[in-house]
Amino acid sequence: MSKYYIASCVFTPQFPELSFKIQDYVEKNFGFSVVRCCVPDYKLKEIEERMPEGKIRKSWSKLADSGRFKAGDEVWSLCHNCNNIIEEVNSGVKVYSLWELIDSDEKFPIPQYPDLNVTVQDCWRARTRSDEQKAVRSLLDKMQISWQEAPENHEKTEFCGVSLYRPQPLRNPKIAPKFYVEGAVGKFIPHTEEQQAEIMKEYCKQYKTDTVICYCHYCLEGLKFGDVDARHLAQMLFPEL
């Protein structure tokens, strides 16, 4: 049995230093093999060029493009897209979120935010992952963050930022049709950037707190369109970056 951590070819260009901090954490503490993506050979050159030049880009280029996942393997990631694809494509491979890993780590140095009051925003791509949702809320409690639910939460959430208002990558419905075709009826309908921004601003009017914490890079992008104080859970757990 092998254990992998997927660094994410979407999250890493957005948060390169943070991503490598997380990679270092999982390698040193758990010995996971770190790979870039959930499938082999995916836009290798294009994504590499999104990385900052220098040490980060060189380090990324040295990572394996993907794992050769087989039944019994464990895959951990902060990318819901990766977890959904692996679960559908690779029978017998167990997928987990980074948040479950950190929540189970008694030695992890949990930062404290006792004065912070937030709304927690669940993700449509992870709507059925109750263990991940529980871990997210457990970590908020451990950080002494006061939090409240969004009106549509857990399995009821239909939110994944603006990603659901533009075409999805052709790869996803092709290799994971159960999730990204059958389970995505009425989603991934193209809208203009102006329309996307208006949808997000209208959506964000529901929040009763100034700050919203999510655990998805697509959700984060949408929340920023909505002009709220949006923060990714990874930023809260690794505050020095």
Domain locations along the chain: 3-237
Q: How many CA atoms lie within 13 A of 71 on its CB side?
A: 2
pLDDT above 90: residue 26: yes
| Closest by Cα among 215, 91, 82 to 161 | 215
DSSP secondary structure letters along 83-135 = HHHHHHHSTT-EEEEHHHHHHH-TTS-----TT-EEEEE--GGGTT-HHHHHH
Which residues lie below 8 Å from residue 103, measured CB to CB, with a gap of 6+? Answer: 135, 138, 139, 142
Q: What is d(CA 177, CA 180) in angstroms, rounded to the nearest whole number?
A: 5
pLDDT digits (tens, 9 = 90+) for 144-174: 999 999 999 999 999 999 999 999 999 999 9
> Do strands 3-6 and 74-77 pair parallel, antiparallel, or not at all (unpaired)?
parallel
pLDDT digits (tens, 9 = 90+) for 117-136: 999 999 999 999 999 999 99
DSSP state of 226: T
Model confidence band, residue 202 (pLDDT cutoffs 50, 70, 90): very high
Amino acid 28: pLDDT: 96
Which residues lie below 8 Å from residue 41, measured CB to CB, with a gap of 6+? Answer: 65, 66
pLDDT above 70: residue 241: no
Q: What is d(CA 162, CA 193) in angstroms, rounded to the nearest whole number?
A: 9
- pTM, rounded to two decimals: 0.96
For residues 89-117, give the mean pLDDT.
97
Amino acid 240: pLDDT: 73
For residues 195-224, give the mean pLDDT.
97
Amino acid 62: pLDDT: 95
- Asked whether 83 and 128 are in contact (CB, 8 A), the reply is no
Residue at token pair 């999510």: 214
pLDDT above 90: residue 17: yes
- Distance between alpha carbon 163 and the CA centroid of its chain, in Å? 13
- Proportion of the chain above pLDDT 90, given as a percent: 98
Q: Residue 141 has which token pair?
A: 């409690």
Amino acid 154: pLDDT: 98
Which residues lie below 8 Å from residue 181, measured CB to CB, with a gap of 6+? Answer: 173
Amino acid 93: pLDDT: 97
For residues 178-192, give the mean pLDDT.
97
Which residues make beta-bridge pairs with 232?
Answer: 214
